[in-house]
Amino acid sequence: MVVGVKMKKLVVLTGAGISAESGLKTFRDMGGLWEQYDVTEVASPEAWRKNPELVMRFYNERRKVLFEATPNAGHMALAALQEHFEVTVITQNVDDLHEQAGSKSVVHLHGELRKAQSTVDSRLVYTLKNWELKMGDLCEKGSQLRPYIVWFGEPVPNMSMAAELAKQADIFAVIGTSLNVYPAAGLLDCISRDVRVYLIDPNMLPVSARKNFTFIKEYASVGVSLMAKELIDALNGF
Ligand code: APR
């Protein structure tokens, strides 16, 4: 009986950059969301208390774009790597483009835009049928629904699971994130020292120059395929 060779674990941390070519705005690029909105007015519990209608509008606008968006070649190339590796995607993104592309193991650190959460019982989470969530949309216990998003200042429930996954990585990749936000960016400190790290970003990042990093200075739609070719060639002993 041929026992399947255990696949190497590829753990990937993605950010808004991998969804940029699908038409979803990033946060800190030119024209990014934090240039248009004050993050404290749309993405914090205080913002929700002060002006829930503005917060709802901010997420409705992004959800409307998401309902029209499709995965790009970067998401697809990452999903295709599941043929050769045990791939886990840890994403800061709240879109579901990794899942739409076929990635089977996706851990969302900052929530999911297609879902809404009860404001009286956080265990109650609902998948939205269309892009608009309104004041007056209630959970089964009669309380207002909020976007299922981890706001600044709120705990990141999946962080310990993500740290455990990063620790077990044989190969780690960072795609489309400026690594500005913690605890997500701290995942880099969880991986073992000898693990190769791929970094895919069209812009230089402070970590680009680290010695065990392979920096692919490309858009995700190009860079992920380049990384995939390198990884598969290495598997086949080229
Ligand atoms: N392909 C790959 N990377 C890209 C592309 C692209 N086509 N376009 C831009 N990038 C890179 C940018 O150079 C930048 O390094 O993606 C990164 C986007 O960084 P941010 O806009 O800071 O997004 P992100 O790192 O995901 O933000 C993290 O901050 O506001 C919070 O919760 C929000 O999850 C978000 C978190």
Tell which one of 12, 27, 179 to mutate to probe ligand 1, the residue whose CB is within 8 A of the most ligand atoms: 27
pTM attached to this predicted model: 0.97
Take residue 142 and report the two structure tokens written for it.
Answer: 């009669």
pLDDT in tens, 40-64: 999 999 999 999 999 999 999 999 9
Backbone φ and ψ for 45, nearest 5 degrees, come out as: -60, -35
pLDDT exceeds cutoff 80 at 196: yes
CATH architecture of 1-24+72-110+156-238: 3-Layer(aba) Sandwich (3.40)
Q: Are 218 and 200 in contact (CB under 8 A)?
A: yes
Closest protein CA for atom 14 of ligand 1: 178
pLDDT at 100: 98
- Of the candidate CATH numbers 3.30.1600.10, 2.40.10.10, 3.30.300.30, 1.10.357.10, the domain formed by 27-68+116-149 belongs to 3.30.1600.10
pLDDT at 1: 59
For the chain, the structural domain boundaries read 1-24+72-110+156-238, 27-68+116-149
Distance of alpha carbon 111 from alpha carbon 159, whole angstroms: 12
Q: Is 111 a pocket residue for ligand 1 (Cβ < 6 Å)?
A: no
Structure confidence at residue 2 as a pLDDT band (50, 70, 90): low
